[in-house]
Chain A
Amino acid sequence: MMSTSVYAGEPYEGYIYQQGIGFTKEYPSVSNYEPQNVMTGIDLGINNLKAPRDIFATDDRLYILDSGNGRIVVLDKEEKLVQVLDQFSYKGDDYQLNDPNGIMVTSDKIYVADTENQCIVRMSMSGEIDLIYTKPESGLISQDEPFFPQKVVVDSVGNVYTNVKGVFEGIVEYDSTGEFTGFFGGDRINNIFEIADLIFWKKFLTEEQQSKMKKVVPIEYSNLAIDDKNFIYTVSQSVGNTNAIRKLNWKEKNLLESMEGIASQGYGDIRAGADPASFVDVCLDESEMLYGLDVATGRVFQYDQQGNLLSVFGRYGSQMGTFRGPVAIESFNNKIYVLDNQLNNVTSFQKTEFGQVVAKATKLYDDGLYEEATAIWRSIVEINPNFMLAYTGVGKGALLEGNYKEALRCFELAANQKEYSDTYKIYRTQLIKDNFALISVASILLIGIVFWLLALKKRKKLNFIHEYISTHPKVEKFVLPFRVMMHPIDGFEEIKFWGKGSMKWAYAIMVALFLGFSVEWLYTGFVFKTNSAETFQLIMVLMQTIGMLMICIISNYAICSLLDGKAKFKELIIGTTYALVPAVLGIFINTGLSQILVAEEAFIMQLISTITLTWSLILIIQCIMILHQYTLKKTIAMMFLTLLGVMSILFLLALCFILYNQVLTFITSIYHEILLRL
Chain B
Amino acid sequence: MKRVMRICMLIMVLSVAVVLVVGNEPLLAKEVVSKEFQLALENDSYKLYFNPTTAEAVLEDQKTKQVWYTNPQGVEDQEQIIAFNKNKLKSQLIVEVVNQQNIVETALSELESVKKNKFSYEIQDNQLIVNYEFEKHGLMIPLTYELIPNGVKAYVESDGIVEGETYRLTKVAILPYFGAAQQGTEGYILLPDGSGAIMAFDAYKNSNIYTSKVYGRDLSLTNDTAPNKDERIMLPLFGLKREKDGILGIITKGEETASIVAQQALPNSGYNYAYANFETRVLNYYYLEEKDPGRSRKVPYISEALKANECYEVQYHILPEAQSDYVGMAKYYQSYLVGQGLLPAPKEGNQKLITIDVYGGVNVDSVIMGIPVVKFLNLTTFEQCKQILNDMKAAGVNELSMRYRGWEKDGLVIQGASQTIKPASSLGGKKQMDALKKLGKENEVPIYFETDLITYAPRKFSFGDLQKTIKNVGNYYAYQYTYDLPTKEIDKTIERTLLISPKALVARVAKVLPDLEENIALKGIADLVYHDSHKQGGSIRNTTNVFTEQLGKIEEGRSVLLESPNMYGLKYADLVVNVPVYSSNYMNFTNDVPFYQLVLQGYVDYFTPYINRNANPQEMLLKAIESGSGIHFGGSYEDPTILLNTPYNGLMISKYDSWKDLAIASYKALENIEEITQGSEITMHEAIEKGVIQVGYQNGTKIIINYNDDPIQYNGSIVPPKEYLILHQ
On whether the beta carbons of B486 and A11 are closer than 8 Å, the reply is no
Q: In chain A, what residue has the closest Cβ to B207?
A: A343
B62 interface residue (CB < 8 Å to A): no
Write the nearest CB–CB distance from B619 to chain A, whole angstroms: 7
On whether the beta carbons of A38 and B614 are closer than 8 Å, the reply is no
B644 interface residue (CB < 8 Å to A): yes
Write the nearest CB–CB distance from A355 to chain B, whole angstroms: 7
Chain A neighbourhood of B455, CB < 8 A: 1
Question: For chain A, what secondary structure do more than half of its interface residues adopt (helix, strand, loop), or is it mixed?
Answer: loop
On whether the beta carbons of B369 and A518 are closer than 8 Å, the reply is yes
Q: In chain B, what residue has the closest Cβ to A532?
A: B645
Chain A neighbourhood of B716, CB < 8 A: none
Q: In chain B, what residue has the closest Cβ to A2?
A: B650
Write the nearest CB–CB distance from A201 to chain B, whole angstroms: 34
On whether the beta carbons of A28 and B650 are closer than 8 Å, the reply is yes
Known A-B contacts A28-B649, A385-B654, A536-B367; A320 and B587 likewise in contact (beta carbons under 8 Å): yes
Q: Which residues in chain A, 351-388, are within 8 Å of chain B measured between CB atoms?
A: 352-355, 379, 382-386
Q: Which residues in chain B, 554-590, are within 8 Å of chain A measured between CB atoms?
A: 578, 580-582, 584-587, 589
Q: How far is the CA of A31 from the CA of B615 in the complex (A)?
A: 6
Which of the residues B486, B582, B641 comes within 8 Å of A385, measured between beta carbons?
B641
**A561-605 contact mask (Cβ, 8 Å, vs B): 1 or 0:** 000000000000000000000000000000000000000000000
B487 interface residue (CB < 8 Å to A): yes
A317 interface residue (CB < 8 Å to B): yes
Q: How far is the CA of A413 from the CA of B654 in the complex (A)?
A: 15
On whether the beta carbons of B208 and A538 are closer than 8 Å, the reply is no
B655 interface residue (CB < 8 Å to A): yes
On whether the beta carbons of A275 and B487 are closer than 8 Å, the reply is yes
Q: Could you say which interface size class chain A belongs to? A: 35 or more
Chain A neighbourhood of B372, CB < 8 A: 538
Chain B neighbourhood of A131, CB < 8 A: none
On whether the beta carbons of A319 and B230 are closer than 8 Å, the reply is yes
On whether the beta carbons of B205 and A345 are closer than 8 Å, the reply is yes
Q: Which of B228, B370, B589 has the most chain A CB within a 10 Å cutoff?
A: B370
Chain A neighbourhood of B29, CB < 8 A: none
Q: How far is the CA of A13 from the CA of B649 in the complex (A)?
A: 14
On whether the beta carbons of A319 and B370 are closer than 8 Å, the reply is no
A279 interface residue (CB < 8 Å to B): no
On whether the beta carbons of A386 and B616 are closer than 8 Å, the reply is no
Q: Which of A43, A295, A383, A672 has the most chain B CB within a 10 Å cutoff?
A: A383
Which of the residues B206, B613, B709 comes within 8 Å of A345, measured between beta carbons?
B206
Q: Which residues in chain B, 608-661, are within 8 Å of chain A measured between CB atoms?
A: 609-610, 612-619, 640-641, 643-645, 647-655, 658-659
Q: How far is the CA of A8 from the CA of B610 in the complex (A)?
A: 9
**A26-59 contact mask (Cβ, 8 Å, vs B): 1 or 0:** 1110111011001010010000000000000000
Chain B neighbourhood of A672, CB < 8 A: 476
Which of the residues A6, A26, A541 comes within 8 Å of B486, measured between beta carbons?
A26
Q: In chain B, what residue has the closest Cβ to A518?
A: B370
Write the nearest CB–CB distance from B483 to chain A, whole angstroms: 9
Q: Which of B294, B369, B612 has the most chain A CB within a 10 Å cutoff?
A: B294
Chain A neighbourhood of B586, CB < 8 A: 318-320
Q: How far is the CA of A345 from the CA of B658 in the complex (A)?
A: 41
A3 interface residue (CB < 8 Å to B): yes
B371 interface residue (CB < 8 Å to A): yes
A481 interface residue (CB < 8 Å to B): no
Q: How far is the CA of A15 from the CA of B615 in the complex (A)?
A: 13
Chain B neighbourhood of A231, CB < 8 A: none
B284 interface residue (CB < 8 Å to A): no
B482 interface residue (CB < 8 Å to A): yes
Q: How far is the CA of A675 from the CA of B476 in the complex (A)?
A: 7
On whether the beta carbons of B228 and A11 are closer than 8 Å, the reply is yes
Chain A neighbourhood of B371, CB < 8 A: 538
Known A-B contacts A318-B586, A385-B653; A15 and B485 likewise in contact (beta carbons under 8 Å): yes
A83 interface residue (CB < 8 Å to B): no
Chain A neighbourhood of B709, CB < 8 A: 350
Write the nearest CB–CB distance from A449 to chain B, whole angstroms: 32
Q: How far is the CA of A323 from the CA of B648 in the complex (A)?
A: 30
A12 interface residue (CB < 8 Å to B): yes
Chain B neighbourhood of A13, CB < 8 A: 226, 229, 485
A549 interface residue (CB < 8 Å to B): no
On whether the beta carbons of B649 and A274 are closer than 8 Å, the reply is no
On whether the beta carbons of A384 and B230 are closer than 8 Å, the reply is no
B444 interface residue (CB < 8 Å to A): no
On whether the beta carbons of B293 and A295 are closer than 8 Å, the reply is yes
B480 interface residue (CB < 8 Å to A): yes
B413 interface residue (CB < 8 Å to A): yes
Which of the residues A9, A343, A515 comes within 8 Å of B582, measured between beta carbons?
A9
**B425-443 contact mask (Cβ, 8 Å, vs A): 1 or 0:** 0000000000000000000
On whether the beta carbons of A30 and B650 are closer than 8 Å, the reply is no
**A1-23 contact mask (Cβ, 8 Å, vs B): 1 or 0:** 11111111111111100001000
Q: How far is the CA of A352 from the CA of B585 in the complex (A)?
A: 16
A192 interface residue (CB < 8 Å to B): no
A196 interface residue (CB < 8 Å to B): no
B494 interface residue (CB < 8 Å to A): yes
Q: How far is the CA of A515 from the CA of B486 in the complex (A)?
A: 37
Q: Which of B482, B485, B618 has the most chain A CB within a 10 Å cutoff?
A: B485
A173 interface residue (CB < 8 Å to B): no
Q: Please give me the 6 A-B residue pairs with the lowest Cβ-Cβ distance, nearest first.
A: A382-B658, A2-B650, A352-B615, A316-B294, A9-B582, A7-B609
Please give the residue numbers on chain B whose beta carbons come within 8 Å of chain A beta carbons, in ascending order.
Answer: 205-206, 208, 226, 228-230, 293-294, 367, 369-372, 413, 455, 474-476, 480, 482, 484-487, 494-497, 578, 580-582, 584-587, 589, 609-610, 612-619, 640-641, 643-645, 647-655, 658-659, 709
A-B contact pairs, 5 of them (CB 8 A): A275-B487, A343-B205, A354-B615, A383-B613, A385-B652
Given contacts A40-B205, A386-B649, 16 further A-B pairs with CB under 8 A are A2-B494, A7-B609, A7-B613, A8-B615, A9-B581, A9-B616, A10-B229, A15-B485, A20-B645, A31-B615, A296-B293, A297-B293, A298-B293, A324-B294, A382-B659, A518-B370
